[in-house]
Structure 1
């Protein structure tokens, strides 16, 4: 039986895959998007915050937005740095993913509701599941998905974050996104609290295998919303006995501890990986939505030029610097001594403004050189317990 050969088969319908399928279609390529369940929206292990940096080009419709961040705070022990923001969006991942998928379909991509279980190269074309054919493959099926395992080695456990948490059905009182550091002293990772329209998205993100992750999260829950689990998916509040939904989620996230892993090509003559499949997630905090969305588009651009390996040039020019820097400094960032020093200096008038601009994605210039220039003044201010005016009423 003769089967039509499409230009591109995209494996995975998340932000990376749908963005790639849409971009390829808009560039005039014929596209098949393989995902067994994207037509039935499902929730993901994700805080659901669109990063402030790059938000202008991250397509998010109003129907997928559950709120707008008013602030982002970082807490270490008794010190809290709260940064006002005005651009950050809080999305519902299932709605946003479904929207991106529909945009890909509207652009002309076809959808195959199947898992990709086999890939064979025959006469210069890829044969998918023994019945579909494509000239090029874009792998966007997540960390250690089929395409990652087919084209490259699996990402080992030592280079993964474990991310898990709950959707707690309690209405938030303000839209402050929180990152709690030091909940597990000496361990690399954090707890998060993301307020949504009618619930909290709370979770942990630590190196895979770190002991005590779930216990640390449960301790935070009991401090904020005292109660107990009474059955799977239910939380009973101690104050009034109210029972609220508390649905669990979880997944693995790439988090390279060695910057040399980013040297390895994630493309070949007729294939390219993007998003989590490529390992393109910030190793320090696990944020990857912007890299997934942009990476998918860049992968499609490379294929439209007839050379998937151009993706190496594209992604490196856009976001490799952040990746390498994060992988190099991850182990130092989470050390207790660095946390204490960082929070002491970060609250000073000399450095808080820069920290706020970096958090909001507004800082222009070379942050490293600016930091060293401001550091002597920050040290002097820290010695006299001076705080930035926006932190006067915080601990």
Structure 2
């Protein structure tokens, strides 16, 4: 959490794919490259499924929720989330219809600019609304003050979590507490929690006895009506799970869509090929559907290359739940481990041009889409992202729909090379704030 990806890759060249660093007072094992990371994530089962106690997230969640919890509480929360998302239609027509509804709203919003520059962050509104629809059973108008307030708070939290002060707090929590480095982010988190509690309380009580549910929050509350001796679905844990889903579901998909659009403005030749394929396969006026991915290999390859090249979340720490052998070393229980996902997505042994944006990484000689084993942006194994399928469906439909409707290009007076692609400082590798133009394409309507 306190060491950037570039120095770790340089250390890997000197010491090999498995080495130890001192992060504050804690020894941490770092894994780099496809072979070492995949062996750890897939080959160790539950032995590397725990999270180490990261100070700021211990304060925020107290070991509750989905993403920074461990043991029985994590397993119960994760299994429930996966079942609920499936029941709500993730990967099937019900959720695809919600995404396409949101696409129409986003296209309408961009139409208001008439081809003039719009802020890149506006693209995050649609993924956020899809997340809120699944979590709370309702979407928000883009001008709703509560919607704007919640998105602003999420943005503030993500920026604060990426600041040097928070990294220092995680490395030296006593010093950080003395300097009160954690206070700003905790204040913002409490504001987010207050909004989430209000949204939860506004939902009608779920029907007892396992009746149909219409949102993730309803499913959590219904599950808590039964026997729950360990408090896995207590009110505190319900809020913690919803907080995790809100933060992860809005930030990651929103930032990836922004990157995808930004990279189309940066690579107009790639955009040409995507739009030619969309026009040829879908024709004018027909919106994309999830099943169109197979018929749109180049568009699919471009989205996979966006995921690969941006490395949105370079690493997510793990912790050994028991004695575990990795890379020939026996690690005792409780050892923090950093599987560096960015080192897999940029591994020179797995990708022909790892440092370039190249959709050809996912195409064979005949232009057919090819899935690659080293494509691990959502991690792998027991901790693979539970919302990966939802994120991929959202991104495909929103990206394809936007490129059907608009030509995405830099603002007047700026060429493609002038678009900035150095990530902004935040918890994730989000694109820097800037403007683009979405020029309507009559043929795509």
Q: TM-score, normalised by structure 1?
A: 0.26
TM-score (norm 2): 0.24
Name which structure has the greater RCO, CA cutoff 8 Å, separation 6+.
Answer: 2
The structure richer in strand per residue is: 1
